[in-house]
Structure 1
Amino acid sequence: MTKPASIVMLVVGITLSIFGFALTAGGAAAALLASGQGDEGYFTSRTERYTVASYALVSPQLDAIGEGTAERLPFDVGTLRLRATSADPDGSVFIGIAPQGDVDAYLKGVHHTELQEVKFQPFRPVYRDIPGSSTPALPAGQPLWVASASGPGQQELTWNISAGNWTVVVMNADARDGVSADLQAGFRSELIKPAATGLLLSGTLALVLGVPLLVAGAIGLGRHGGATAPAVLQAPLVGEQRQEPAGIIGHPVRLGGHLDPALTRWMWLVKWFLAIPHFFVLFFLWFAFAVTTVVAWFAILFTGHYPQSLFHFNVGVLRWNWRVAFYVYAAGGTDQYPPFTLGRTNYPADLDIDYPPRLSRGLVLIKSWFLLIPHLLIVGAITGTATWAWRTNDGPAGVVGDRGGGLSLLALLVLIALVILLFTGRYPQPLFAFIMGLNRWVYRVLAYGALMRDEYPPFRLDQGPDEPDFVEPPGRNRRDGHL
Structure 2
Amino acid sequence: MLIIIGVLFAGGGGAILIPGTVVRGIERIQDKDGFLAAGSLALSTDGYALSSPAGDPLELPGGTPAVPFEFVTLRVTVTSTDKPVFMGIGAQRDIDRYLGGVEHSEVEGLNTFSSSAEYRHVDGGAPTLPPGELDIWVAEATGSAPQEMQWSLTPGEWGMVVMNADGGAGVDVEMNIAARSGLIAPAANFLTVLGWTLFLLGVAAVIAGGVLLGVGQSGLRTPR
| Contact 1:96–1:170 under 8 Å retained in 2 | yes
Q: Please tell me whether residue 186 in structure 1 is matched to residue 181 in structure 2.
A: no
Paired residues for 1:214-293 under 5 Å? none
Counterparts in 2 of 1:19 and 1:126: CA distance versus 1, 3 Å: farther
Structure 1: where are the runs of 5+ without partners? Answer: 220-483
Paired residue for 2:222? none
Q: Secondary structure at the match of 1:25?
A: helix
Q: Distance in 2 between matches of 1:147 and 1:198?
A: 33
**Is the alpha carbon distance of 1:119 and 1:144 closer, same or farther for their aligned partners in structure 2, counting shifts above 3 Å?**
same
1:136/1:72 Cα in 2 relative to 1: closer, same or farther (>3 Å)? farther
Q: For the residues of structure 2 that align with 1:71 and 1:55, how far apart are their CA atoms?
A: 38
Measure, in 1, the Cα distance between the counterparts of 2:42 and 2:92: 24
Q: Residues 106, 201 of structure 1: CA spacing in aligned structure 2 closer, same or farther, 3 A cutoff? A: same
Given the alignment of the two structures, is residue 138 of structure 1 paired with residue 130 of structure 2, yes or no?
yes
Return the match for 2:41 from 41, 45, 48: 48
| One-letter amino acid of the structure 2 residue matched with residue 84 of structure 1 | V
* CA–CA separation in structure 2 for the residues paired with 1:37 and 1:144: 31
User: What pairs up with 1:55-454 in 2 under 5 angstroms?
Assistant: 55-60=48-53, 61-63=57-59, 66-70=60-64, 73-88=67-82, 91-209=83-201
Per the TM alignment, residue 47 of structure 1 is displaced from its structure 2 partner at its CA by: 2.1
Quick one: distance in 1 between partners of 2:103 and 2:125? 6
- Find the residue that maps to 2:196 and give its secondary structure: helix
Letter in 2 for 1:82: V
Find the residue that maps to 1:146 and give its secondary structure: strand
**1:372-413, CA deviations, whole angstroms, 9 ceiling, x for partnerless residues?**
xxxxxxxxxxxxxxxxxxxxxxxxxxxxxxxxxxxxxxxxxx
- Equivalent residue of 1:83, what SS? strand
How much does 1:118 deviate?
1.6
Return the letter of the residue paired with 1:81.
Answer: R
Q: Quick check: 1:58–1:170 contact (8 Å CA) kept in 2?
A: yes
Post-superposition offset of 1:86: 0.5
1-structure distance, mates of 2:190, 2:134:
43
**Identity of matched residues, %:** 34
TM-score under structure 1 length normalisation = 0.39
* CA separation of 1:36 and 1:145: change in aligned 2, threshold 3 A: same
| Cα-to-partner distance string for 1:227-276 (whole Å, 9 max, x where unaligned) | xxxxxxxxxxxxxxxxxxxxxxxxxxxxxxxxxxxxxxxxxxxxxxxxxx
| C-alpha distance after superposition, 1:113-169 (max 9, x if no partner) | 221222244222112222233534210111110010011121111112222221121
By relative contact order (CA 8 Å, sep 6+), the higher-ranking structure is 2
TM-superposed CA distance for 1:176, in Å, is 1.4
Task: Provide the secondary structure at the position in 1 that maps to 2:167.
Answer: coil
Which segment is superposed worse, 189-198 or 71-80?
A: 71-80
- State the alpha-carbon separation in 2 of the partners of residues 172 and 159 from structure 1: 21
Q: How much has 1:71 moved relative to structure 2?
A: 8.2
| Partners of 1:71 and 1:164 within 8 A in 2 | no
Normalising by structure 2, what TM-score? 0.78
Report the aligned-residue RMSD.
3.0
Q: 2:18 maps to which residue? A: 25
SS of match in other structure, 2:70: coil
- Relative to its length, the structure with more helix (as a share) is 1
- Name the CA shift for 1:130/1:72 in 2 (closer, same or farther; >3 Å): farther
Point out where structure 2 has 5 or more consecutive residues left out of the alignment: 211-224
User: Structure 1 residues 19, 94: closer, same or farther in 2, change over 3 A?
Assistant: farther
Superimposed CA distance per residue, residues 399-432 of structure 1 (whole angstroms, 9 cap, x where no aligned partner): xxxxxxxxxxxxxxxxxxxxxxxxxxxxxxxxxx
In the alignment, the residues of structure 1 paired with residue 177 and residue 112 of structure 2 have an alpha-carbon distance, to the nearest angstrom, of: 15
C-alpha displacement of 1:80: 1.6
Relative distance call for 1:215 and 1:155 in structure 2 (3 A) is: same
**CA distance in structure 1 between the aligned counterparts of 2:70 and 2:113, rounded to whole angstroms:** 34
CA distance in 2, matches of 1:18, 1:169: 48
In structure 1, what is the equivalent of residue 217 of structure 2? none
Name the structure with the higher strand share. Answer: 2
Taking the aligned partners of 1:59 and 1:41, their CA distance within structure 2 comes to: 24
**Number of equivalences:** 207
Q: Secondary structure at the match of 1:54?
A: coil
Partners of 2:157 and 2:10 lie apart in 1 by 37
- Distance verdict in 2 for CA 1:199–1:137, change over 3 Å: same
